[in-house]
Amino acid sequence: MEEFAKRRAKLAAQMCKNSIALLFGAQTQYRNSDVEYPFRQNSNIYYLTGFCEPDVVMVLCKDTDGKLKYSLFNRASDPEAEVWNGKRAGQLGACKEYAADESFDIAKIDSLMPKLLEDKEAIYYPLGLNADRGG
């Protein structure tokens, strides 16, 4: 996990103080009905976090003093779904296994993200990358 932390620090060095960077992971793609294509994570998410599950958002905040906070929005643990699709990191695993400072359920992103964006001087976001997802 140390290599990923170094990569995030390198990204943060390019960010201004009191800013936030948002990166969105890949989503599950379906061939038909309930048959999925093999999952491949967004390269930028993997490069910065090592996280290999769908439906993840990485948030890197740099406060006014230059201190960093690395957060993940990811799917919550779900024992029933995990029987079919494999183990999920959940919020505890995102912190323990992927060194996130904090982790939130992706289902709560709409209610939690406005607070994270509040009063930021700059927002870094890859525009046009996912036109079908609003970006």
Q: Is 129 inside any structural domain?
A: no
What was the pLDDT predicted at 69?
A: 97
Q: Is 130 inside any structural domain?
A: no
Q: In which region does residue 108 sit, left (phi positive, over 0), alpha (psi from -120 to 50) or beta (all else)?
A: alpha
Amino acid at 72: L
Residues 65, 135: Cα–Cα separation, whole Å: 29
Average pLDDT over residues 99-122: 97
Q: How confident is the model at residue 60 (pLDDT cuts 50, 70, 90)?
A: very high
Q: Is 135 inside any structural domain?
A: no
131: pLDDT strictly greater than 70: no
82: pLDDT strictly greater than 70: yes
Q: Is 21 inside any structural domain?
A: yes
Which CATH number do you get for residue 95?
Answer: 3.40.350.10
Buried b vs exposed e over 68-78: b needs ≥16 C-beta within 10 Å?
A: bebbbbbbeee
70: pLDDT strictly greater than 90: yes
What was the pLDDT predicted at 132?
A: 60
Q: What domain range includes position 46? A: 2-121
